[in-house]
Structure 1
Amino acid sequence: MKDFSRTGARLFRITAAVLLILFLLLWGAQTLFAHRNPVFTPDYPMEDLTALLAQEQLSAADYDALFLQTGLGMPAIDALLAQGAQGREQILAIQRQFFAAPATVCAELFGLLVREDRLAPDKNGQPVWGPPMPTLEDGDVLLTYATHSMGWRHGHAGLVVDAARQKVLEAVVIGSDAAVTNLGHWRSYSNYLVLRLREKSPELQSELTTWALEHLEGVPYRLFSGLLGPKAPDPGLPGFGVQCAHLIWYAFQQFSYDVDADGGRLVTVDDLARSPLFEVVQLYGLDPRQWIY
């Protein structure tokens, strides 16, 4: 009987030690490895853009300079400059936020496994927001690398389905269905990227968002969508589901645009970010030099 008790106690200690080691490995991946690279803030000087914004015409080099200083791509710069003095002031305000060094917090999203980096509240406990997205259009794609699981920054994606009302269609997490959410929470991420189809048109944008709402809203979250089974199955089939990046790809491929940069079975946020079919409208918390070609 004593030998049995000793064996049981030994197994208990071994099990407890294994669980502790696994917990420490998970903690290390989620806190240390996932944050091995700090949140990006420009490592180059902030410049006075007044003279540049006063020019009647901008060159490719001018657009690159503005992109480095503000995170605003050509579509956003053109749209804001068309607003005159008010638009120029907004560009300068976004530049100031782009160069600010924000504090961040790593928040729980799905138990111990999935977490996301958000901008930390200020000293009074009030929420802090990233720069506004003043030039959004229907059909724009929102990406962030703030979401991570066990050290892997897989990120998150959403589709702007109503820019005027700031509504986004997104598949958020296991156990939930794709749903329309408010845009606001995207500005609390530690980084974000706004993309737009280069060949966009008002008709395409309207048709794409309408189709996405009709066929993808309410679809279950499927982590391995596209990886197990057909990449583009009929949405009416039993078991159909999407994860966040696959939702974006699935909507665009219905209109013959394959926005998966590497063409693999699994569509990731980075595949969308590197697609040559998209152009950058705006980014924040990310190094713009990675998107200057």
Structure 2
Amino acid sequence: MKKKNYYFISFLMLLILVACLNFLVELNAYTPHANQVDTLVMEQSSDLINIADYPVTLFTLEERCVDDDHQQMACHELNDIQNGDILITKSNHTLLYRHGHAGLVVDVEAGLVLEAIGYGTKSRLEPLEKWNYYPTVKVLRLKEKNEALISSLIDSALSNFLDINYNLIASKYNLKMTHCSDIVWKVFNSIGIDLDSNGGWIVTPKDISQSPYLYEVKSFGFSPHRVW
């Protein structure tokens, strides 16, 4: 009897742990703009915005804005985007880890962004338009840049960083695997700019968002009171 109780209590504790971790994943996932209701997404009852998870890969989900009929809809409009801009969102999570997502604008006229999406995929060009559907987006730009620098950046991105296998724990110096923020870091590093704000073994979207080489052009869904 004691052994059965032990298994039951262990199972119950595991469920509680998973529930708590899931709560932390969803906590502060989206913060409405100041002129909307000042609540978090898990607490809001407003019809101003609805958010739903969509699968990217077997283990990775991304949040999109949806209407009352559960159809995907744009929740903002990204304009005045330039080649070399970095796009950051925290609307992606794998299992219980909210890692966010990042991409590099490589052809603003064609609306193309270099991205590494998830396991089972390779780095590729994705439509810029889809970033309008994420409830959270930051647009970051180099503080000091010129046409020659951006041209070199884009050439490097398109010549050297397509079709690389995805790995969430890819290190910065392994060129045979990558993930979303890692590929952004690698492209900039290839022209001598280190965007990793903490100099760790791996680089995250949060690390890039805090780089002293970048400034924030615009932000949607991020709280002004928290770094991430």
User: What TM-score, normalized to structure 2?
Assistant: 0.82
> Is the alpha carbon distance of 1:115 and 1:20 closer, same or farther for their aligned partners in structure 2, counting shifts above 3 Å?
farther
Indicate yes or no: 2:49 matched with 1:102.
Answer: yes
Q: Does 1:256 align with 2:203?
A: no
Structure 1 residues 38, 217: CA separation in 2 closer, same or farther (over 3 Å shift)? closer
Question: Which of 168, 173, 184 is equivalent to 1:232?
Answer: 173
Q: Which runs of 5+ in 2 are unaligned?
A: 37-46
1:116 corresponds to 2:90? no
Counterpart of 1:186 in structure 2 is 131
Give the deviation of 1:247 after TM superposition: 0.3
Report the equivalent of 1:287: 223
Deviation at 1:101, TM superposition (A): 3.5
Does the Cα contact within 8 Å between 2:76 and 2:133 map onto a contact in 1?
A: no
- Provide the residue aligned with 1:145 in structure 2: 90
Q: Which amino acid aligns with 1:266?
A: I
Higher relative strand content: 2
1:40 counterpart residue number: 31
Contact 1:39–1:285 at 8 Å: present in 2 too? yes
Deviation (angstroms), 1:17? 9.3
Which protein has the bigger helix share? 1
Matches for 1:20-31 after TM superposition, within 5 Å: 25-26=17-18, 29-30=21-22
Q: 1:289 to 1:36 in 2, by over 3 A?
A: closer
State the secondary structure of the residue aligned to 1:129: coil
Kept in 2, the 8 Å contact 1:26–1:150? The answer is no
- Note the aligned Cα RMSD (angstroms): 2.7
Q: Distance in 1 between matches of 2:107 and 2:148?
A: 14
> 1: distance between equivalents of 2:87 and 2:71?
24
Residue 70 of structure 1 is matched in structure 2 by none
Judged with a 3 Å threshold, the aligned counterparts in structure 2 of structure 1 residues 171 and 38 are, in CA distance, closer, same or farther, namely closer
Q: Give, as a single letter, the amino acid of the residue that structure 2 aligns with 1:34.
A: V
Per the alignment, residue 142 of structure 2 pairs with 197
Distance 2:16 2:56 in 1: 19
Aligned to 1:210: 155
In structure 2, give the amino acid aligned to 1:105. Answer: A
For residue 35 of structure 1, report the CA deviation from its aligned partner: 1.6
Q: 1:175 aligns with which of 107, 110, 120?
A: 120
Residue 125 of structure 1, CA deviation: 4.8
Which structure has the bigger radius of gyration?
A: 1
**2:140–2:215 Cα contact (<8 Å) kept:** yes
Q: Is 1:265 matched up with 2:204? A: no
8 Å CA contact 1:29, 1:150 repeated in 2: no
Alignment check: 8 A CA contact 2:102 2:205 kept: yes
Superimposed CA distance per residue, residues 217-241 of structure 1 (whole angstroms, 9 cap, x where no aligned partner): 0011122221xxxx334x4xxxx11
Q: CA deviation at 1:139?
A: 0.9
Deviation at 1:256, TM superposition (A): 1.2
Query: 1:77 — aligned with what?
Result: none
One-letter amino acid of the structure 1 residue matched with residue 21 of structure 2: A
- Who is 1:62 aligned against? none
Deviation at 1:290, TM superposition (A): 5.1
CA distance in 2, matches of 1:242, 1:207: 21
Question: SS at the partner of 2:132?
Answer: helix
